[in-house]
Structure 1
């Protein structure tokens, strides 16, 4: 049985909620293209890359044919809008319960990594005052595959010097949960309806319900039963 020594976190929706800022930035692009998206539609962009997000938006208007250069320009514009919006982020934007969880993890000797599709993760962590808390931040630019492929979670464990089985992954998207489970990690699902093939090991309604000692205990007990 593997002793849990590491914790791997998604960023958006787990450490802080930048989803609204992403939505507003994408909506600005969509409006300019004459494509209607709302907050409910925006849920499908959770956990996927910037390029994939743009392709999903463009799919809403099949006659909107753009070449690679035009798409790249839109991606740059979206990121510029987003950077304006996250400039105001502070430690007050850390989600409820997360500061206590990270503090408990640090004092407990757990190694921690961020596994986020966001290229702006280091900047957001800096704004939140959390840059020194994490031992590693996976750079999505170095990845071959996006979630739900397990690569980002495998790389996070590798960066911590741990086997994936010795880490617990925390996610708020179904694509993320699938990636965690495919990497061989126990998974904690936060605030998502679970009705997929890849079931998490633990579900909580919100970040404020995350109790590290209880999570590690439940994961360890489950491994003993299944092992």
Structure 2
């Protein structure tokens, strides 16, 4: 594994790492599922984590055996409606929605000279950062509209390293979803998983929650 001293940059997912917009996504998708008559389950909600908008819609429709009932245009309309539902919820966000310990961690990274980049599949990520008051920490963000592949493909995390002009080995990726951890590992970066260690078993380092996300804890985990 890479040495802690070699790390120069951190590549962050947004949902479930910096803030919990997952609950908003769930609510907005659930409204769409109800609308098209697909039974919502916790498992379905979990399956959508870290997946882009159109792929999420396909999963919902497949879950209800309805994937052939809608035209391409109708699917785009449903996805747009979901996004509008979600944006209405996002508009109400404040710094109170930042996950515990994250502001201190970002400030610590910045003061130690680490470069930071956002790697979120969400096209609304810049708006969310603005609402949280965290935009100043992220000078750079991967534009999801320019990506050809979604997670678990490594493209988004590889692109993050390129934006920072760093080798993948110099980067740590932070994620809360199994697809994201797979993406970081495939990009040959060090992966930190936030959440259930059984679900995120492939992560190089695992923390139960964001309060454990500190430079000291990362250094300890990499050195031992």
Structure 2 length-normalised TM: 0.94
Alpha carbons 2:178, 2:199 under 8 Å: kept: no
Please tell me whether residue 125 in structure 1 is matched to residue 144 in structure 2.
no
Counterpart-to-counterpart distance in 2, 1:81 and 1:214: 38
Partner in structure 2 of residue 5 of structure 1: 8
The CA RMSD measured in Å over matched residues stands at: 1.5
Partner in structure 2 of residue 16 of structure 1: 19
Counterpart-to-counterpart distance in 1, 2:42 and 2:112: 38
After TM superposition, the structure 1 stretch with the greater mean CA deviation from structure 2, 86-95 or 60-69, is 60-69
Of 99, 108, 116, the match for 1:95: 99
Which runs of no fewer than 5 residues in structure 2 stay unpaired? none
Partner in structure 2 of residue 185 of structure 1: 189
Please tell me whether residue 105 in structure 1 is matched to residue 131 in structure 2.
no
Please tell me whether residue 34 in structure 1 is matched to residue 34 in structure 2.
no
Change over 3 Å in CA distance of 1:28–1:195 after alignment to 2: closer
Aligned to 1:132, the other structure's residue is in SS state: helix
- Residue 38 of structure 1 and its aligned partner are, at CA, apart by 3.4
Counterpart-to-counterpart distance in 2, 1:161 and 1:93: 31
Counterpart-to-counterpart distance in 1, 2:63 and 2:191: 33
| Count of residue pairs brought into register by the alignment | 220
Partner in structure 2 of residue 225 of structure 1: none
Partner in structure 1 of residue 204 of structure 2: 201
Alpha carbons 2:197, 2:206 under 8 Å: kept: no
Aligned to 1:7, the other structure's residue is in SS state: strand
Alpha carbons 1:173, 1:192 under 8 Å: kept: no
Of 39, 57, 61, the match for 1:58: 61
Partner in structure 2 of residue 43 of structure 1: 46
- Residue 154 of structure 1 and its aligned partner are, at CA, apart by 0.5
Which runs of no fewer than 5 residues in structure 1 stay unpaired? 223-227
Please tell me whether residue 159 in structure 1 is matched to residue 159 in structure 2.
no
Q: Deviations over 1:21-47 (max 9, x none)?
A: 101101111111111113443011001
Q: Deviations over 1:3-23 (max 9, x none)?
A: 100001100000000111101
Change over 3 Å in CA distance of 1:214–1:61 after alignment to 2: closer
- Residue 60 of structure 1 and its aligned partner are, at CA, apart by 2.0
Alpha carbons 1:111, 1:160 under 8 Å: kept: yes
Structure 1 length-normalised TM: 0.92
Counterpart-to-counterpart distance in 2, 1:195 and 1:111: 28
